[in-house]
A = this chain, B = another copy of it.
Amino acid sequence: MTADVSLAAGRGYLAIPGPSVIPDAVLQAMHRPSPNIYAGELVEMTATLIPDLRRVARTEHHVAIYISNGHGAWEAALQNTLQPGDTVLVASSGRFAIGWSEMAEALGIKVELLDFGTGAPWDMDQIASHLAADTAHRIKAVLAVHVDTSSSIRNDVAAMRAALDACDHPALLMADCIASLGCDRFEMDAWGVDVMVAACQKGLMVPAGMGFVFFSPKAAEARARLPRVSRYWDWEPRANPEEFYQYFGGTAPTHHLYGLRAALDLIHAEGMEAVWARHHHLARAIWAACDAWGAGGPLRMNVQDVALRSNAVTSLHLGGDDATRLRTWVEQTLGLTLGIGLGMAPPNSPEWHGFLRLGHMGHVSGQMIMGLLGGVDAGLKALEIPHGSGALEAASQVIAGAGAASVAETSERGSCCG
């Protein structure tokens, strides 16, 4: 009797673009009895989360924590700044910008959509013209997805602020950093962002279940002008609680808060610059492998321009049904789970099976990325999908440069290309 050998026993590796790999320290911190929610340790600990969240977002301003996922944080941002009949401008480079705009429409908000597809970044000229033409300031906010998890395009949020300022447009700049926070450099205050939306299950390395909305004083003023805001979404008491329960509009997400504390400890022990540098270095290794594979076969990164690539997620195209075959093989044979393509083709269409994504956000090391790429390489070989050789060696060469590279170098890069 003959059976295939499976090499899948062992620690699984979930390399999808969120949820990401949860650190042991976070899971340990969450394995504890329920705490008192009125006084004591939890109350004191929660207060320490706020400044540490601000440091991740590079802001001096406000943060509201929600028991929700990222979609909930999207809704919270909209509910605190806009009312039915208001207009927003949405610049889209992927599925998630569309998703946020659909959420706005469901709230009765008018959406002006500049859709640049899934293969191109924002066209800043077109956006500038659009804003300049809005002399009546009909547009109340610009919805800007920093990294679109579907296309893996990283847009230039600072440039959006410049475009608004260039025509003295008063619209709020609202950024979605769900996929990028803690992975790609983001500087909320320096970049002039008014509202920033994030969630805990990607770069923040906590099991899904919390959303965050950061907001500026200007956004707080917009909130103050609204006739009413839903109690659950109202960020005002959450950001300025007089009683502990107001942080969360009711019962606190007790265990998630302990998990978040552990995750923030990891992040700030490493340092934001070091965290960003690590993600960038690892992303470069992935890109080097993809370039090599692509040189001898159909594999293509969705984003050609290096300056537009995210450090957190890489969207790939293989064509045919090879993406699905590859995902299936590495999961069943190696215990490695890759992300499905999203927004690149209609779900379940024949084309859909040609796309996939690699997640490389949060709790990822050089060794893990080499395992991810090694798994993909083996899958390409096993399935006889044509691919260039030397991909792993190219990635290894990048990883090997970790000592020679430096945090400051990456830091400069980050500030020049936003």
For A348-391 the 0/1 string (1 means CB < 8 A from B) is 00000000000000011111111111110111111000000111
A367 contact from B106, B256, B282, B330, Cβ within 8 A: B330
Complex Cα gap A16–B16 (Å)? 28
Min Cβ gap A262→B in Å is 11
Q: Give, as a whole number of angstroms, the nearest-CB distance from A327 to chain B.
A: 9
Copies, count:
4
- B-chain residues with CB within 8 Å of residue A13 when the two chains form the complex: 367-368
| A68 in contact (CB, < 8 A) | yes
Docked CA distance A282–B334 (Å): 11
A255 / chain B contacts, CB cutoff of 8 Å: 30, 207-209
A320 within 8 A of B: no
Complex interface: chain B residues within 8 A of A340 (CB): 38
Whether B34 contacts A281 by the Cβ 8 Å rule is no
Residues of B with C-beta under 8 A to A193: none
- Interface flags for A230-265 (1: CB within 8 Å of B; 0: not) read 111010000000010000111111111000000000
- Max chain B CB contacts within 10 Å: which of A33, A40, A254, A330? A33
Contact, CB under 8 Å: B253 / A208: yes
Binding stretch for chain B, among A52-60, A310-318, A393-401 = A393-401
Asked if A36 and B16 make an inter-chain contact with CB atoms under 8 angstroms apart, the answer reads: yes
Q: How far is the CA of A4 from the CA of B402 in the complex (A)?
A: 7
A165 within 8 A of B: no
Q: Place the interface of chain A in its size category.
A: 35 or more
Q: A372 to B381, alpha carbons, bound, how many Å?
A: 19
A75 within 8 A of B: yes
Q: A369 to chain B: which residues have CB within 8 Å?
A: 7, 371, 374
Report yes or no: A2 in contact with B409, Cβ–Cβ below 8 A. yes
Please state if B396 and A9 are interface contacts (CB–CB under 8 Å): no
Closest to A18 in B: B251
Known contacts A72-B232, A201-B251: A21-B30 contact under CB 8 Å: no
Task: Knowing A7-B402, A21-B34, A22-B33 are in contact, say whether A232-B274 is a contact too (CB < 8 A).
Answer: no
Say whether A402 contacts B333, CB under 8 Å: yes
Cross-interface CB contact of A19 among B201, B254, B401, cutoff 8 Å: B254
Looking at the complex, which one of B10, B367, B399 makes contact with A21 (CB distance below 8 Å)? B10
- Could you say which residues of chain B place their CB within 8 Å of the CB of A282? 7
| Least Cβ–Cβ distance between A3 and chain B, in angstroms | 5
Assess A209 versus B3: contact at CB under 8 Å? Given A21-B34, A370-B374, A390-B393: no
Nearest first, the 9 A-B pairs at minimum CB distance are A370-B374, A371-B371, A10-B365, A71-B250, A7-B366, A381-B400, A392-B392, A378-B399, A19-B34
